[in-house]
Amino acid sequence: MTIEYINPPALYDGAPHGLSHATVDTDTGLVFVSGQVDWDTHYRVCHTTLAEQTEGAARNLALVLEAAGASIDRIVQLRVYVRGEIGAHLNTVAPILVRHLGLSRPALTGIGVASLASPDTLIEIEAVAKLVR
In this prediction, residue 110 carries a pLDDT of: 97
Segment 96-122 shows an average pLDDT of 96
* CATH number of the domain to which 58 belongs: 3.30.1330.40
Kindly report, residue by residue over 8-65, the tens digit of the pLDDT: 999 999 999 999 999 999 999 999 999 999 999 999 999 999 999 999 999 999 999 9
For 107, other C-beta atoms within 10 Å of its C-beta total 10
Q: What percent of the chain has pLDDT over 90?
A: 97
Sign of torsion over alpha carbons 131, 12, 63, 7: negative
In this prediction, residue 81 carries a pLDDT of: 98
How far apart are alpha carbons 51 and 74 in whole angstroms? 24
CA–CA distance from 130 to each of 20, 71, 78, 101, 107 (Å)? 17, 8, 12, 15, 13
Q: Note down the domain range covering 60.
A: 3-130
How far apart are alpha carbons 78 and 125 in whole angstroms? 7
In this prediction, residue 90 carries a pLDDT of: 95
Cβ pair 55, 93 in contact under 8 A: no
In this prediction, residue 132 carries a pLDDT of: 82
How far apart are alpha carbons 36 and 58 in whole angstroms? 7
Cβ pair 45, 123 in contact under 8 A: no
Query: Does the pLDDT of residue 111 top 80, yes or no?
Result: yes
In this prediction, residue 75 carries a pLDDT of: 98
- Mean pLDDT for the chain overall: 96
How far apart are alpha carbons 111 and 87 in whole angstroms? 9
Domain count, the chain: 1
pTM strictly above 0.85: yes
How far apart are alpha carbons 120 and 33 in whole angstroms? 21
